[in-house]
Amino acid sequence: MFAPQNLSLKGRALKALAGRERSRVELERKLASFEEEPGQLAKLLDDLQAKGFLDDQRAADSLANHRGRKLGTARVVQEMKARGIEAEAIAQSTLQLKATELERAREVWRKKFGEPPADAAERGKQMRFLIARGFSSDIIRRVVAHDEE
C-alpha cells in the first residue's frame, strides 16, 4: 500500500472523499498545499465534479442528516457555510431540518434534562443549552414550557 506522502493529488482527493462527503471549497482547502503545478487542483476538482465524485448538494444533505440529529437548523447552516457549501445547496437541504426542528429539539432536551425546570435558574440553563445547539428561540420556548401545539 502507498504511504500517505507518496499519494498523488488525485489519490489524496479520492481518499478524502472516501471518508465522507466534502464540498468543493473544503476539498480545495484540504489539498491546496499538495498542488505541484498551478491549475492542477482546479482541473482535478472539475474532473471529480463532472464524474459525480464531488457534489455540494450531496455534501450539504450528508451534513444536515448527520449533524441535524443533535443541532438546530441555525447551527447546521453555520457549519455548512464554514465548509464552503453553496447557498442554493444549503437552502435545499435545510427545508427538512426546519420541518423537524421541534421534534429534534424535544429529543435533544429529553436526553439531556428529561424533566421540566424546577425554577428560573434551571429554566435558563435549559434554554442556554438549546440556544448553544442552534435551535430557534420560538422552538426553545415551546420545548422548555412543554407546549404541545
Distance of alpha carbon 25 from alpha carbon 83, whole angstroms: 7
What pLDDT, in 10s, does the model give residues 76-102?
Answer: 999 999 999 999 999 999 998 999 999
Q: What is the pTM of this model?
A: 0.85
Angular region, 52: left φ>0, alpha ψ -120 to 50, beta rest: left
Domain borders along the chain are 8-54
pLDDT > 50? residue 16: yes
Distance of alpha carbon 127 from alpha carbon 141, whole angstroms: 8
What is the pLDDT, as a whole number, of residue 2? 46
What pLDDT, in 10s, does the model give residues 40-66?
Answer: 999 999 999 999 999 999 999 999 999
| C-beta neighbour count of 146 within 10 angstroms | 10
Judge: domain 8-54, CATH 1.10.10: yes
CA terminus-to-terminus distance, the chain = 58
